[in-house]
Amino acid sequence: MVAGAVADVRVPRNTTRSLLPFLQQANIPYTILISDLQQAIENQTGERSHRNRRSLSGYNYEVYHSLEEIEDWMHYLNRTYSDLVHMFSVGKSYEGRPLYVLKLGKRSRPYKKAVWIDCGIHAREWIGPAFCQWFVKEALQTYQTDPDMRKMLTQLYFYIMPVFNVDGYHFSWTYDRFWRKTRSKNMRFHCHGVDANRNWKVKWCDEGASLHPCDDTYCGPFPESEPEVKAVAHFLRKHRKQIKAYLSFHAYAQMLLYPYSYKYATIPNFNCVESAAYNAVNALQSAYGVRYRYGPASSTLYVSSGSSMDWAYKNGIPYAFAFELRDTGHFGFLLPETLIKPTCTETMLAVKNITLHLLKKCH
């Protein structure tokens, strides 16, 4: 490990008492972030009252929802808001689950520009799917009263994919809360899954990705090897003339990132994208004072190849962003449900800001 580096370690309950004296004797500074990790996991996945979690008319947007619940919610909206919502599938996952997308917007004209939003590329980042659901709720509830929302839904379509990595997300609820990848099988290494954000055909498996199937950043045997990535890439290619913005939601780091991820270079429309990012993080901060860093992903976060954001930009979508939502490491992937509302509220301001910036036709 590099001197001065920080490591995030999960320790079994029965070894904690013996580990702490060792750290103290070795003069290794440490901080206990979550004293009982298993309890924190059970707080999020444990059984709640049937009504609290599953009643669709009174759907609770301030708790995390399983894949089954999210899909039931999507079907409900498709039936209930048929004037603004159209639900469809872009394909099937490795394990055969449908890859559902909601098309949101007023059918005011035959051709409209569009914004693509996806959440849950990485299974353990539960705040992502929570935000996608929050965005849809806000759009439907404020369409009549908020002039900005009315403008957005009248002039644009939004394609919203609440759970990109459906197999991995389901696995994170049922077996391993910290699972990241898809669930495809690798027979040679007996490891499951590919990093769905390293599997895109843009500098595939270069820096920041791994060729080893057991690694969390495994890029896969070839670009678009994962049916989830292939299906979404096919849809985006087919609609690339219509889709003007690509927004992907991750956690955690409190950052708003734009291309490039795979190299240190300035994108051609830097001024427009930088301006949109600057205004978005300021709008976000206005809610609760939470500060987001923003900039090119390579220099702001780290270099990574084969990302969906870079692929979208390279395929002609001029506004491509990746959000890294709350927090900066205290709770990490286990962001408490009490922080869903503030996180989604502030992120909503940023997304609306980017969308309105897009409609101003910055060149």
**Catalytic residue IDs:** 324
Dihedral (CA of 245, 250, 251, 252) sign: negative
DSSP string, 113-152: EEEEEEE-SSTT-THHHHHHHHHHHHHHHHTTT-HHHHHH
Cα angle 233, 120, 129 (rounded to 5 degrees) comes to 125
Single-letter residue type at 12: P
Using an 8 Å Cβ cutoff, are 34 and 334 in contact? yes
- Of 338, 264, 330, nearest in space to 298 by CA: 264
Numbers of helices and strands, H then E, in the chain: 12, 10
∠ CA 86-87-93 to the nearest 5 degrees?
155
Cα 235 off chain centre by:
18
Q: Rounded to whole angstroms, what are the CA distances from 107 to 158, 247, 359?
A: 12, 22, 17
Q: Within the chain, where are the H helices?
A: 16-25, 37-45, 50-54, 67-80, 127-142, 147-155, 166-174, 227-238, 270-288, 297-300, 308-314, 340-359
Q: What is the DSSP string of 285-306?
A: HHHH----EEEEHHHHT---SS
Q: What is the biggest distance separating any 2 CA atoms in the chain, rounded to whole angstroms? A: 70
